Structure 1
Amino acid sequence: MDWFAASDYWLTRLVLQRALAGVYLVAFVSAALQFRALIGERGLTPVPRFVRRVPFRAFPSLFQWRYSDWLFASVSWGGAALSAAVVAGAADAVPLWASMLMWALLWLAYLSIVNVGQIWYSFGWESLLLEAGFLAVFLGNDETDPPVLVLWLLRWLAFRLEFGAGLIKWRGDRCWRELTCLDHHHETQPMPGPLSRFFHRLPKPLHRVEVAANHVAQLVVPFGLLMPQPVATFAAAVVIVTQLWLVLSGNFSWLNWLTIVIALAAVDSSLVAGTPTPSPAAAPLWYVVLVCAVAALVIALSFWPVRNMISRGQQMNASFNSLHLVNTYGAFGSVTRVRHEIVVEGTDEEEPGERTVWREYDFRGKPGDVSRMPRQFAPYHLRLDWQMWFAALSPAYAAGWFEPFVTRLLEGDRDTLRLLRRNPFPGGPPTHVRALLYRYRFTTREERRETGDWWHRTLVREFMPPVPAATHEERSDR
């Protein structure tokens, strides 16, 4: 079936699948290491409480039937182990049906996690991983050539991802049209990386070039992904280079790496010298029928994201079905001009006063200590740190989880403290915790030379007044 098989893309499939399994591995490990404090039985937003409020059809998940921290850990670490096996080539060492089962288990396990993850899993890259992971189920293995239809579905996903992101910027904040957004964005993005200060300090004309290049990469180049070869390969190369630039300039979890992986579907591996094409067996009929059915499903479900893209009220990062199959994407339709950070502090004094010494809790990724260089964490996702960025934009983003977070600090909860870089009270929990809102900015070259600091901060206001441990004990008694 020449119309069905893309024999020249065997290397493309090999690299794409192994890389996608690597992203799955990071996602499952991230879930396993952070879930107890965030959504566990004693988490900030517990899964058992959530599933009691929502129907299965709206949030299908294994954990709708039964939840325990042990079960969640088993699913997370089991998914990580299976991902690692696929990275090592296990899916190519088994029959086609078994390979598809492996990919399906990865998708089902991560879908079960995302659909009970609540605010902590509300990011576009969660749905993106599920959509790409679903298509990977039907990409086959070494037993057969890659299906042309699935490669085109992945190209269609790459197009929607990039073009949707470009549209949301062009329609959103006017600074994108004025080419001035990057005067602020490198400094105010959710989690700066070690090179973000360097990018922020680039001359403003270079920032204009960056924004203009972004518009070309997201509004023009995506059409090349849908063109014949070698145009599609060149378009994919532009997408990959653009994403690597974003990797260097910030921490966006696995969004950029996953975009690179998906763009690989447009790369014709026969253009790579010295890669002879293997001759696998013809695809079995049941596989051909299944792939055609999936293609028809994706085409039908594409109605909603296409309607969203052409709408003036375009949404960012929306899923139109509970299985996250065909979604819409976009990021940073608006850019903040000023960076605010919540600094959480505690004291062990019985009655805080004007001379009280407050000790600061250090987070792993978000800015806190002004002398600490921003770290590179992506593709790993620090979920609490990201939500702290949103909470600094508005207290409404912290509703439902910030007070429980303070409660856990007052209790000295080990799972919560593991999410932080440093616990300033190793001998026992504090008596009071408070939160202050600061304005942060990168230091100038002169300030950096003089103080050695990466950040300069100015107190804006109190975010949460001092909360005594007794208050939370009394609430627990009630």
Structure 2
Amino acid sequence: MWQWLSAPDYWSARLVVSHLLALGYLIGFVCFLRQFRGLLGSRGMTPIADHVERVPFKRSPSLFHLRSSDRWLTAAGWTGVVASLLAQVADFAPLWAWPLLWGLLWVLYLSIVNVGQIWYSFGWESLLLEAGFLAIFLGPAHLAPPAPVLWLLCWLLFRVEFGAGLIKLRGDSCWRDLTALHYHHETQPMPGPLSRWFHRIPRPLHKVEVLANHATQLVVPFLLFAPQPAAGIAGLIIVITQLWLMLSGNFAWLNFITIALAFAGMGSWLLDPVTPAPPPLQDSPAWFAVPVLVVTALFVVLAWWPIQNMLGSAQVMNRSFNKLHLGNTYGAFGSITRTRYEVIVEGAAGPHGPWLEYEFKGKPGDPHRRPPQVAPYHLRLDWLMWFLAISPSYGRSWLPGFLEALLRNEPEVLKLLRDNPFPDEPPKLVRADLYRYRFNTRSERKTTGRHWTRTKTSEFIRPLGLEDLR
């Protein structure tokens, strides 16, 4: 009866998508476990316990409204890690276990995002949640993948790519005159080891990059809904483009999840040669097929908001229209900063110094240090330091707590940094200055050994002690 719902030719696509999404969840939960104490824990900069007291459940649905102790948060994180690992072998599970396992992953991560405050305000959080929700209805290996779920995954990928392409054309003239990459590789939030090389390639090639980006984001996504082989070729182009972006910078798991989605449009002709042979496939039973159709109808309704946003004149990036983070709109880099500024934080044992710099794990600091490869891991504090350099308003909720943690040598917050220049006793004063950074040329790099040249432009935060913060 439900044979028409099945898409057996996309069994390999389902296999790849589900395994990559499980890995995406694993990365997300590991990031949470390694960082939440300094960000959201009881001694963190913006404790979850304070947040759930201010914000009711209906505005931030989360399991942590029940309990929000560090022990409870740790248990939830480790449960997510175990469930992510189990999802890698869930192909062999009975059909009833699949939605339970993937539903658990979605509920746990939704609970984190909804109380994660500014630390979890990035578009790839919603992307992981929406993709992870759809994975609940993909089913294990012995089930022929439901075609509507694959369409919805392609629709999600379409919104990611087409939304990003539109916001670029509308948001900044440098995307229209093809000069965006004269700046972007140098000024992006988290440069990687090869970013300086990308920045220094000839400018005509930068224009080719921009043209290729426009084609990939504004034309190729429509081919995802075309018959094979066009849909598979479109997915392959998107994968290649995302790998290029992963080489040129660190964008957490945005590129990784986008690649996972791109496989949803690839047919057997493309994936069967590199994936195992499928077992004998069964069609969806009624108890599974009916929820698939209900979810499909739900996403048809939810499509109104992102379509309205993309076609409207006031398009916004990375917006969730509901607290379940389903049917979101996406986009990135609607505006490009032309000059890179960094907030450099220092501490001193007294008013006369010496002032010692705090080094972060990913963001530029020491000019001699090569930008590290971080993605698909996500350094949340480092990213917000980039936003802070754009506008101090981005630090309103967390910056005072960060400075106080430095003045107290709070160990959980200091773990978020690369090193602590005051290991024995905390500094008496902290301050921050704003510096302009630019990549060195090859000759400058050879002469000085530095990857960056930096110049102080202004005082960002005057020297402060604990009494000043109070």
Q: CA deviation at 1:471?
A: 3.8
State the 1:85 CA deviation: 2.0
Q: What's the counterpart of residue 287 of structure 1? A: 288
| SS at 1:316 equivalent | coil
Q: Per-residue deviation at 1:61?
A: 0.3
Deviations 1:174-204 (A, max 9, x none): 0000000100000000000000000000111
* Contact persistence 2:161–2:218 (CA under 8 A): yes
- Native 8 Å contact 2:141 2:278 kept in 1: no
- CA distance in structure 2 between the partners assigned to 1:270 and 1:5 by the alignment: 17
Paired letter, 1:394:
S
Q: Secondary structure at the match of 1:327?
A: coil
Mapped contact 1:257–1:379 kept (Cα < 8 A): yes
User: Please, what TM-score do these two structures have when normalized by structure 2?
Assistant: 0.98
Give the structure 1 partner of residue 46 of structure 2.
45
Alignment of 1:17-416 (within 5 A): 17-87=18-88, 89=89, 91-272=90-271, 274=273, 276-349=277-350, 352-353=351-352, 356-416=353-413
Residue 100 (structure 1) shift: 1.0
In structure 2, how many angstroms separate the alpha carbons of the residues matched to 1:458 and 1:430? 25
User: Following the alignment from structure 1 to structure 2, what is the Cα–Cα distance between the partners of residues 469 and 64?
Assistant: 32
Q: Number of residue pairs matched?
A: 467
Q: CA offsets per residue over residues 31-63 of structure 1, 9 Å max, x none?
A: 111111111122211112211222211210001
Letter in 1 for 2:82: A
- TM-score by length of structure 1 reads 0.96
CA contact (8 A) 1:437 1:461 kept: yes
Match of 2:460 in 1: 463
Instruction: Please state whether the residue corresponding to 2:225 is helix, strand or coil.
Output: coil
SS at match of 1:319: coil
Report the alpha carbon displacement of residue 108 of structure 1 after superposing the two structures with TM. 0.2
- The answer to whether the 8 Å contact 1:9/1:270 transfers is no
CA apart distance, 1:82: 1.1
Cα pair 1:8 1:277 within 8 Å, conserved: no
Letter in 1 for 2:280: S
- CA distance in structure 2 between the partners assigned to 1:164 and 1:432 by the alignment: 45
Q: Is the 8 A contact 2:185 2:198 kept in 1?
A: yes
* C-alpha contact (below 8 Å) 2:3/2:283 kept by paired residues: no
Residue type matched to 2:377 in 1? Y
Runs of 4+ in 1 over 2 A off after TM superposition: 269-278, 469-472
- Matched residues in 2 for 1:273 and 1:168: separation? 36
Deviation at residue 367 of structure 1 after TM alignment:
0.1
Looking at structure 2, the residues matched to 369 and 82 of structure 1 have their Cα atoms a distance apart, in angstroms, of 39
Measured against aligned partners, the alpha-carbon deviations of 1:302-336 in whole angstroms (never above 9, x if no partner) come to 11000000001001000011100110000000000
RMSD: 1.1
Query: Cα distance, 1:469 vs. partner?
Result: 3.5
The alpha-carbon deviation at position 426 of structure 1 amounts to 1.2
Local SS of the residue matching 2:282:
coil
Distance 1:329 1:467 in 2: 39
Could you tell me how far 1:12 is from its partner in structure 2?
1.2
Q: Is the Cα–Cα contact under 8 Å of residues 7 and 277 in structure 1 kept in the other structure?
A: no
How far apart are 1:257 and its partner, in Å? 0.5
Q: Does the 8 Å CA contact 2:12/2:271 hold for their aligned counterparts?
A: no
Q: Distance in 2 between matches of 1:310 and 1:68?
A: 44
How big is each residue's C-alpha offset from its partner over 1:402-443, in whole Å with a ceiling of 9 and x where there is no partner? 111010001000001100001111111111111111000001
Matched residue, 1:434: 431
Deviation at 1:2, TM superposition (A): 3.3
Give 2:224's aligned amino acid.
Answer: L
